[in-house]
Amino acid sequence: MTNSKIVADDNANVHSEGLLDNPERRKLFKRAAIGGGVVLASGLGAFGVGRASIEGKIDKSWPDLADDFKPFPQRDTMWSYAGSPHLMMRHPERNEQFGRLVKNDSRYNFQLQVPRYEHKGWDNSRPGFTQLDTALQHAGWCPPHKWDLRLGAMGIPDTQWFSWDQSGVDHEQYQFGTKLEASNAIRSAARLFGAVRCGIAKRDKRWDYDPIYNAGATVEMMEGAERMGVSKITDPQEMAKAMQGMMEHFKPEDRELSWEKDFPFEPKTVIVMAVPMDYDNMATAPSRTCAGTVGDGYTKMATLASQMAQFIQGLGYHAVASGNDLGNSVAYGIAAGLGEGARNAQLIVPGYGPRIRLCKVYTDFDFVEHDKARSWGITEFCKTCKKCADACPSKALDTREDTNYTFGGEHAEQPGYTWNNHEGIKKFHSDSKRCFDYWLESDTDCGACIASCTFNEPDYWHHWMIVAANPFVPSALHGAMSEMHPAFGYGSTENPAKVAKFWNTGEGMRVNPTNRNVFGAVGRS
């Protein structure tokens, strides 16, 4: 050791001894250490409680079913009805009643508007509906329109991406060591293919559509309609004639399919996955702009679910990918512990709110840890909030405070009006006829109830903190919390500033120093 080093060490000792000899300084160090320790301990404690809260509490009270609850026949979903000329002919009273009661036009017809849906012109003076926005809408929906996925989007089963084909099932079955290992492998594959959430539910016949319905429309028929320029016909009489001609030419046949006789195997597990929609794009709702992320979401649902079905088949088990077909995705999402059912009739997932799309894989593989329904106090929050119902341009959402077994909105008392509602389960019911009518009228996918939702937040700590705190917040404060959301600048709809903001979100993408919203970013997305 050199002399200068020894001198330096001595000086340091003298200096530190001097420091500690000074009682004032000792007190300062002690208090700073205690204060720092207390702050650190409380911070870590709050973080731990927050993390536990975000995991959700097992919800044994779900589902709350009426004695006469039955699985729902798929033919009675709005999509099936609107996409089926056969159902139009079998149930003309549904069109007539809706037209008479809601549209003041008893000749109203859903089916005759579908071929023109998302084919209308733009309006360059209207933000969100300009050529730029319309181009984005068509680009977002281009993969579903190029493949037969547009049929799958309407709930038609056994299509190219949501195929029932089991020829890919490997003859050898892979054996996992533990159920946890199997669940983790499934979730890892789902994450890789674009899922932001993946839950594994037991197959539950109550949530399956029964019977399954195939409206009979085919790609050839849709392409034929395109060639014949059906989407350009504006006169309803002309449209009726054109559709009649198509029916005669293509002779589509609708069919009901049974789980026992037609489905290729007996499912035991349903893997439920959520794909995200873009925050800034969805914030432009209701507009053509946000149809970009909706169409893109439909595409991602299809690729994710079919890749996962292929993965399970490769492990030697039967698997069928599913989007809006086969079963109620929201109910399965709840059963898989992904989120809670909300007033806007969607699944609210902590961290995303309703800004996700759900897809599923039905499989007979059951050596997994099945998830259970959980609660984050979201349904409870919805009882006071109602921001989505206020924002809904078609007034399709039920505004009664509590959840109910039946739909209770306008005209609910009219015989047969609620044909599209799956009643008998306690939840927030909605009028999907009004909703779809607004989509047709505005030529958008709307999404106002997603954009306005109090739980639709960007991915930052302060929003997570509110989600984590929500179960502990007394319901008397929920109203104030839902008012704070728009006051702080979130959740407005029909807002041209949000359209302008979206069209600047690409700025900085050459480097994107935060890696925010980017697939493949390090850590959890």
Partner 1 sequence: MELLEFFIMGILFTLGVQAFAYLSIKVKMPWYAWAGLITGGLTLLFGIGWAGSSFIENVPQSGSLGLTVFCLPGLLLMAFIIRKYLPKGTRL
Chain residues in the site for partner 1 (CB under 8 A): 24, 27-28, 31-32, 35-36, 39, 458, 460-462, 487-490, 501, 513-514
To which residue do tokens 């004695």 refer? 67
Query: Which option in ligand SF4, partner 1, none does residue 394 bind, with CB closer than 5 to 8 A by kind?
Result: ligand SF4
Q: 240-277 burial, b if ≥16 CB within 10 A, otherwise e?
A: eebbeebeeebebebeebebeeebbbebbbbbbbbbbb
In terms of CB distance, is 312 or 446 closer to ligand SF4?
446
Largest Cα–Cα separation, the chain = 105
The C-alpha atoms of residue 478 and residue 465 are separated, in whole angstroms, by 15
Is residue 454 a contact residue for ligand SF4 (CB under 6 A)?
yes
CB of 441 vs ligand SF4, minimal distance in Å: 10
In terms of CB distance, is 1 or 476 closer to ligand SF4?
476
The C-alpha atoms of residue 465 and residue 463 are separated, in whole angstroms, by 5
Is residue 451 a contact residue for ligand SF4 (CB under 6 A)?
no
Is residue 213 a contact residue for ligand SF4 (CB under 6 A)?
no
Stretch that binds ligand SF4, among 48-56, 149-157, 254-262, 340-348 (CB under 6 A): 340-348
Query: Which option in ligand SF4, partner 1, none does residue 455 bind, with CB closer than 5 to 8 A by kind?
Result: ligand SF4
Q: Which helix (H) or strand (E) holds 58?
A: strand 57-58
CB of 488 vs partner 1, minimal distance in Å: 4
Query: Which option in ligand SF4, partner 1, none does residue 18 bind, with CB closer than 5 to 8 A by kind?
Result: none
In terms of CB distance, is 332 or 490 closer to partner 1?
490
Q: Cα–Cα distances in Å, from 266 out to 7, 165, 263, 306, 333?
A: 83, 14, 8, 18, 20
Contact 176/315 with Cβ under 8 angstroms? no
CB of 78 vs ligand SF4, minimal distance in Å: 10
Residue 285 three-state SS:
coil
CB of 96 vs ligand SF4, minimal distance in Å: 22
Q: Which amino acid is at 12?
A: A
The C-alpha atoms of residue 355 and residue 143 are separated, in whole angstroms, by 20
In terms of CB distance, is 2 or 514 closer to partner 1?
514
Among 149, 156, 315, 449, which residue sits at the site for ligand SF4 (rule: CB under 6 A)? 449
Angle CA(324)–CA(180)–CA(379) in degrees, nearest 5?
A: 45
Using CB under 6 A, which residues numbered 480 to 519 contact ligand SF4?
482
Neighbours of 143 (CB within 10 A): 18
Residue 278 has phi, psi (to 5 degrees) of -70, 135
Query: Which option in partner 1, ligand SF4, none does residue 329 bind, with CB closer than 5 to 8 A by kind?
Result: none
Query: Which option in ligand SF4, partner 1, none does residue 446 bind, with CB closer than 5 to 8 A by kind?
Result: ligand SF4
Return all residues near 471 (Cβ < 8 A) that are at least 6 apart: 53, 57, 375, 376, 377
CB of 312 vs ligand SF4, minimal distance in Å: 32
Using CB under 6 A, which residues numbered 367 to 406 contact ligand SF4?
381-382, 385-388, 392-394, 396-397
Neighbours of 327 (CB within 10 A): 27
CB of 440 vs ligand SF4, minimal distance in Å: 11
Question: Treating both helix axes as pointing N-terminal to C-terminal, what angle do 478-487 and 378-385 enclose, rounded to 10 degrees?
Answer: 70
Contact 114/246 with Cβ under 8 angstroms? no
In terms of CB distance, is 307 or 493 closer to ligand SF4?
493
300 Rama sector, left if φ>0, alpha if ψ -120 to 50, beta otherwise: alpha
Residue 423 has phi, psi (to 5 degrees) of -90, 165
To which residue do tokens 């991602």 refer? 300
In terms of CB distance, is 147 or 464 closer to partner 1?
464
CB of 274 vs partner 1, minimal distance in Å: 21
In terms of CB distance, is 121 or 520 closer to partner 1?
520
Please name which of 43, 191, 279, 193 lies closest in space to residue 523, comparing C-alpha atoms.
191
In terms of CB distance, is 190 or 446 closer to ligand SF4?
446
In terms of CB distance, is 34 or 135 closer to partner 1?
34
Is residue 455 a contact residue for ligand SF4 (CB under 6 A)?
yes
Query: Which option in partner 1, ligand SF4, none does residue 112 bind, with CB closer than 5 to 8 A by kind?
Result: none
Using CB under 6 A, which residues numbered 266 to 305 contact ligand SF4?
286
Beta strand 255-257 pairing with 269-276: unpaired
Among 243, 435, 467, 468, which residue sits at the site for ligand SF4 (rule: CB under 6 A)? 435
Q: Note the Cα 311 to chain centre separation in Å.
A: 23
Query: Which option in partner 1, ligand SF4, none does residue 387 bind, with CB closer than 5 to 8 A by kind?
Result: ligand SF4
Contact 112/105 with Cβ under 8 angstroms? no
Site string for ligand SF4, 298-337 (x = CB under 6 A): ----------------------------------------
Is residue 342 a contact residue for ligand SF4 (CB under 6 A)?
yes
Contact 426/436 with Cβ under 8 angstroms? no
Q: Which amino acid is at 80?
A: S
In terms of CB distance, is 307 or 452 closer to partner 1?
452
The C-alpha atoms of residue 205 and residue 118 are separated, in whole angstroms, by 35
Among 239, 453, 468, 499, which residue sits at the site for ligand SF4 (rule: CB under 6 A)? 453
User: Which residues are at the interface with ligand SF4 (CB under 6 A)?
Assistant: 286, 342-344, 381-382, 385-388, 392-394, 396-397, 430, 435, 438, 446-449, 452-455, 482
